[in-house]
Amino acid sequence: MQHSSTILMTEFVTHDVKRFILTKPRNFEYEPGQGVKMVIDEPKWRDEESQPFTPTSLTDDKILEFIIKRYPARKGVTDKLHRLEVGARLLLSDVFGTITYKGPGTFIAAGAGVTPFIAITRQLARKGKLGSNSLFYSNKTPADVICEKELRHYFGSRCIMTCTQESGPGFENRRITANFLKEKIHDFKQRFYVCGPDSFVADIKSILKELGASPDSVVFEE
């Protein structure tokens, strides 16, 4: 691990997702959408397998922000991170990743997979370049949606949120399927950005290919 960082504050974003504000290591640079691997700087945890997370802060911010979902059943890093207090130290790798902004298109996310797109969206909004980009965002229930108000503010009517188990006002109650995409998208020659659980990414990539999208136009974490 190349960089050391300290937790400055944490707060809940949803019932099982927390925002972490960290000190920003010197000479730490990244492109919105890229990730880092993180371990907890404690004797018991330093040798644990590092986990990838995506900074959601702007690149010129003086701090780092991460939005991290807790998976208690795994009894691993995310569970421990959610129990850390201010002042705890973390170790970060250099940045990596293939998800970066390559031009206007449609972002398709599930669950915590939206985090790379939060960083990209914030950066584009600051520069006034969000343009005609769209977001399709799937979760189990409205309570699971990360940064709902912020994303709706940025994308407006181009933000379509859907829930697969329990829906509510402003949400569709369906999965992102081939029929869903054919109904919502009229041009499959555009660029697509896909992030979420591995099975979700694989399914969406396959559907997009079937609907005429070029494999070269689909951006995902390889």
pLDDT digits over 110-167, tens only? 999 999 999 999 999 999 999 899 999 999 999 999 999 999 999 999 999 999 999 9
Which residue's entry shows tokens 């992102």?
176
Look up residue 117 and give its two tokens: 């797109």
Label residue 9 exposed, middle or buried (CB < 10 Å: 0-12, 13-18, 19+).
Answer: exposed
Q: Distance between CA 16 and CA 25 in Å, rounded?
A: 27
Look up residue 112 and give its two tokens: 């915590």
pLDDT digits over 48-89, tens only? 778 899 999 999 999 999 999 999 877 789 999 999 999 999
pLDDT for 1 equals 66
Confidence of residue 47 (pLDDT cuts 50, 70, 90): confident
pTM, two decimals, is 0.95
